[in-house]
A = this chain, B = another copy of it.
Amino acid sequence: MNNNLVIQTDFGKSDGAVNAMYGVAVSVDPSIRIYDLTHDIPPYNVWDASYRLFQSISYWPEGTVFISVVDPGVGTKRLSVVAKTKEGHYIVTPNNGTLTHIHHSIGIKEVRVIDEKINRLPRSGESYTFHGRDVYAFTGARLASGVISFEEVGPEVDTAKIIALPLTKAETNEGRITGNIDILDVRFGNLWTNIDRELFHEADFNYGDVLEVSIENNTQKKYKNSIVFGRSFADTRLGEPLLFVNSLDKLGVAINQGSFAKAYQIETGSDWKITIQKVIK
Contacts and interface: CB of A to CB of B under 8 A. Distances in A.
Interface of A: 2-4, 6, 10-17, 19-24, 26-27, 30, 33-40, 43-44, 51-53, 55-61, 64, 72-77, 125-130, 133-134, 183, 185-188, 197, 231-235, 244-249, 252, 257
Contacts of A127: 245-249
A129 B232 contact: yes
7 contacts: A4-B26, A22-B35, A23-B57, A23-B61, A127-B245, A127-B247, A128-B244
Given A126-B197, A129-B244, 6 more contacts: A4-B30, A73-B234, A74-B233, A75-B233, A125-B249, A128-B231
Contact of A232 (B4, B75, B231): B75
Contacts of A74: 232-234
Contacts of A10: 187
A48 to B, nearest CB: 9
A235 to B, nearest CB: 7
Contacts of A56: 16-17, 19-20, 23
A19 B34 contact: no
A30 B5 CA distance: 12
A183 to B, nearest CB: 8
B44 A35 contact: no
